[in-house]
Structure 1
Amino acid sequence: MALTRIALLVSLCYVTACSDQQTAAPASEALDRILGRSMTQEPVIRDFDPAQVARGQAIFRNNCAGCHGQNAEGTPDWRKPLESGRYPPPPLNGTAHAWHHSTEELKRFILNGGPPGEGRMPGWAGILTDQEIDDVLVWIKSLWPDEVYEGWYTRIENRP
């Protein structure tokens, strides 16, 4: 009887060990590691005012779309310098590098033009109001995929 119990216990341990295979971490855990956040951190929720998003889109299309495209898709071959050595307007829709900058930096680029030496974007100070620039920035951020927005918010915008 004791031998049967031992055999049953060994069998149970063997089955448990075989069925307890390690599985790949869920995608959300992998994203947490990439974003450098703890597993318990709440996801970033975008709570944009739809009216502000709509205003930003209209302002963008009236003032910025001539260079950056109607949907902020940028210029084809935007990574390739022009003959002048400067770069054409990049996408602002989350597929380029705009999300590498804080809101304040993006606002400075819009107000003052630039970035210096890299592009030929004019400054919009005195042409667009602060509110109009804020509206445009909210519209641009609304275009970013969730993963891009969350990475931007976690690593750039909301740094301690």
Structure 2
Amino acid sequence: MFTKAATIFISLFLIAACSEQPDTPTTNSSSVLDRILGRDIAPEQIKRSFDPSQIAHGQMLFQKNCAVCHGQNAEGTSDWRTPLENGRYPPPPLNGTAHAWHHTTEELKRFILNGGPPGEGRMPGWEGILTDQEIDTILIWIKSLWPDEVYQGWYTRIENRPK
């Protein structure tokens, strides 16, 4: 009799314990989700540590090689969202007001090296014209133009996303 009562009690206890589900995620699962989405990185934790001389060199390289299409200050073409007669799009801004920040550094570097993106724009490839270091330096200057909230969003959701 004692064994039957103990078995019933333990069974009821286990059923009750397993059926309780919290209405909101627990702190642990919430913090895991925040880390995945990059929300656990406070804005003050994201510091741009670009070397001012690299920024200046990147600006010079950009103005020498890229400004003819993207503008002296990476402002792009005013009607960059409107396709041209050939169906391709004009050069977009790279200063944080368009979509450049939707791409990782490696993707941006690939666009510069190979041109493109394929079928969407008319940007030529710069492979063999600009060195990898020059492209990296240009990208530092471009990222230095992005507003803090754009840079933070890019860093947490694009550049630093789990692979």
Q: For this structure pair, what is the TM-score category when the shorter chain's length is used for normalisation?
A: 0.7 to 0.9
Aligned counterparts of 1:158 and 1:102: Cα–Cα separation in 2:
9
Quickly say closer, same or farther: Cα 1:129–1:36, change in 2 above 3 A. Answer: closer
Q: Which residue of 2 aligns with 1:76?
A: 78
Letter paired with 1:144: W
Q: Is the 8 A contact 1:78 1:88 kept in 2?
A: yes
Aligned counterparts of 1:58 and 1:40: Cα–Cα separation in 2:
32
Q: Which residue of 1 aligns with 2:19?
A: none
Question: 3-state SS of the aligned residue for 1:38?
Answer: coil
Output aligned runs, 1:5-154, within 5 Å: 37-38=39-40, 43-154=45-156
Aligned counterparts of 2:152 and 2:115: Cα–Cα separation in 1:
26
Q: CA deviation at 1:159?
A: 1.2
Aligned counterparts of 1:129 and 1:39: Cα–Cα separation in 2:
33
Letter paired with 1:127: I
Q: Is the 8 A contact 2:70 2:77 kept in 1?
A: yes
Runs of 4+ in 1 over 4 A off after TM superposition: 39-42
Task: Give the total of aligned pairs.
Answer: 127
Quickly say closer, same or farther: Cα 1:46–1:84, change in 2 above 3 A. Answer: same
Quickly say closer, same or farther: Cα 1:70–1:51, change in 2 above 3 A. Answer: same
Aligned counterparts of 1:156 and 1:124: Cα–Cα separation in 2:
24
Quickly say closer, same or farther: Cα 1:42–1:64, change in 2 above 3 A. Answer: same
Question: 3-state SS of the aligned residue for 2:56?
Answer: helix
Unpaired segments ≥5 residues, structure 1: 1-31
Instruction: Supply the RMSD in Å over aligned alpha carbons.
Output: 1.7
